Amino acid sequence: MTEPSTTRRSSPGGYAVSDSLAAAGFVADPRIALVETARPGRTPYDAVVCQNAWNFLPRDHYARLVTEYAPRRRALYLARRRVAAHNTRRARTNVVLSTYMRDLLAARGRRTTLAEVTLPWDLCTADDVASAGAGSLRAAASSATGLPPVHRPFVLVPGTLTWYKSPGYALDLLARIPAAERPLLVLAGTDDGSGCAQDTRSRAAAAGIEAWIGPAERPTMKWLLAHAQLTLVPSRLESLSFSMAEALLLSPRVAALPIPVHGEMVERLGRRPVWLTDDPAAVDLDELLAPLEPVDPVDVAPFRAQWFELAGVLNEAGRA
């Protein structure tokens, strides 16, 4: 059977899940796969945590989203979909973290257990939230190098730089703002190796849009979310969307595409974003950038309890 250290998803969201579970007391178990693409063993997993909707989309939806990726990467994604299908078909149960993922797997006839989580562990206390935007950006970061030059208003796009998250949407939107009034664009996320980050950088330069593109450590990301003039979440596919949840919690203004998981995060956190249209040319910029009225703080304590519940589900599956 696969070693526990190889079963978690190697993305910021995947690390947030595994780290939050560890904080809640879950001990890695070779019978539990923390991602559906874990290496299959001779014996089926007792439980598989399904974290990536990409691996369960219907073929037509998947085909529309994968067209922008190079052939070699498409082959990689297809192989991952096959592994995910194999693991989830054999598992005693498949643990899903959103109703959207539950519905995707149910459509494939998979056994599922729903255990919702909303925010990473490090934003699940009032003190965590209060400290997120405190001080300066340099004070929030462990290193002063590689920080965005946020000396003026900026628009933040958080999350991995990949095609289906639509970073180009932000470029099209900001291109409509006169250059003298245009905020800095900060795309804070890891490069998935698909060429999306390089293409986005080239497009920004060609359009005359000042853009900073690069990864952000957790304290830096929280600071950016708390201080952005606008946080954009233009992703066309999400499985859970910590980026959306964190933006709703910390950012003064959020705009997002109305995909199912974004709607779930709005319902759980009780905060409403500006919903974007598919065409950035049709977005009302006055509405998008208008001043906001203060909102009541969110009680995050129930979201901490969710991690204990998920850890309990997985621990029970490993004992069965």
Q: Is pLDDT of 318 > 90? A: no
> What residue ranges do the domains of the chain occupy?
4-119+303-319, 126-299
- Give pLDDT tens digits for 254-292: 999 999 999 999 999 999 999 999 999 999 998 898 877
Q: Which pLDDT does position 3 carry in this prediction?
A: 38
- Give pLDDT tens digits for 205-244: 999 999 999 999 999 999 999 999 999 999 999 999 999 9
Give the rounded percent of residues in the chain with a pLDDT score beyond 90.
83
Instruction: For residue 274, give the 3-state DSSP assignment.
Output: strand
- Overall average pLDDT of the 133-159 stretch: 81
Other Cβ atoms less than 10 A from the Cβ of 14: the count is: 16
Read off the pTM: 0.93
Q: Which pLDDT does position 2 carry in this prediction?
A: 37
Which residue type does 182 have?
R
Alpha-carbon span 81 to 62, nearest angstrom: 10
Per residue in 215-250, is it b (16+ CB within 10 Å) or e — as a string? ebebbbbbbbbbbbebbbbbbebbbbbbbbbbbbbb
First CA to last CA distance, the chain: 17
The CATH code belonging to domain 126-299 is 3.40.50.2000
Q: Is pLDDT of 250 > 50? A: yes
- Overall average pLDDT of the 107-115 stretch: 96
Instruction: For residue 155, give the 3-state DSSP assignment.
Output: strand
Alpha-carbon span 228 to 233, nearest angstrom: 13
